[in-house]
Amino acid sequence: MSMRKLYMVKLGGSLITDKRKPYTPRVEVIKRLVKEIRDSLSTSHRVIIGHGGGSFPHVSASKYETHKGFVNRESKYGMAVVHYDASRLNMIVMEELLKNGVQAFPIQPSSISLAEDSRIVEMYIKPLKTLLEYDMVPVVYGDVGIDLKQGCCIMSTEEIFRFLSLSLKDEYSIRIIMCEEVDGIYTKDPFKHPDAEFIEVVSRENIDIVMEYLSSSHGIDVTGGMKHKVEVLYGLAKEGIETLIINGLAEGRLEKALKEKPVKGTLIRY
């Protein structure tokens, strides 16, 4: 008997917010992406939604240097502010999901996880697994984390997906779909270089040169940008979990990807 499919869908922070304007959601983009998720839901598969923080927690995390841990007298207060900012954006996403009738339920990563040097080492996932069994849609998000070595850290959505994927891969056939502002991975930053070449597949044949191409995303991003994403996702590819990076600004692509129809994007596999 084949395992049930599980899609982990990330709505990128730079996609659902304007990262150049603090605390500015792209409401119309969120609304459209939520409708595409709604229209692709099926009893034949399960879905976990994750989203980045964009111009919400990244602003405060940069101000308080939260990714470095407890580095000064403001660090602990800053940790609380970053979490508050992350949860604000989560409520905006949740509002649209509920308006569209999606049986979504938020999971606060900082309350169920422990990290060491920004890498999650423990996560209590039984509630999330139960939600999946109930055919509900858990919603996680990039958050601040409790770090056993440095006090606090940033828990990126990719890191959350990494831990969840490895924890659930024996029960589900998992595919990750990353919605970004671009079609996938390029040889250069496509925002700055119109001549950048598109890379359809990242695999063991070209991973080294791809990592040389990558640099952090434009705007404020304390999680390391695209390079961090590919490092984490290629590690999952070695475990048999493939990722498709698509352009979330292109109408209909997320829905097509969730319905397993051909769509332009970069596939990360081993």
The model's pTM is 0.94
Within 13 Å of residue 142, how many CA atoms lie on the same side as its CB?
32
Q: What kind and span of H or E run contains 180? A: strand 172-180
In this prediction, residue 146 carries a pLDDT of 98
Predicted local confidence at residue 194, as pLDDT = 86
Concatenate the DSSP letters of all residues of 80-115 into one string: HHHHHHHHHHHHHHHHHHHHTT--EEE--HHHHEEE
Distance CA 67, CA 257 (A): 33
Dist. CA 51–CA 142, nearest whole Å: 6
pLDDT at 69: 98
β-sheet bridge partners, residue 113: 123
Residue 1: predicted pLDDT: 59
What's the CA gap between 257 and 86, in Å, rounded?
27
Question: Which residues partner with 177 through β-bridges?
Answer: 9, 244
Query: What domains can you pick out in the chain, each with its CATH number?
Result: 4-51+87-105+133-141+157-268 (3.40.1160.10)
pLDDT in tens, 56-93: 998 899 999 999 999 999 999 999 999 999 999 999 99
Q: Tell me what pLDDT residue 2 has.
A: 72
DSSP states of 108-152 as a string?
A: -HHHHEEEETTEEEEE--HHHHHHHHTT-EEEEE-EEEEETTTEE
Contact predicate 226/187, CB 8 Å: no
Ranges under pLDDT 70 in the chain: 1, 215-224
pLDDT of residue 224: 52
Are the beta carbons of 94 and 104 closer than 8 angstroms? Answer: yes
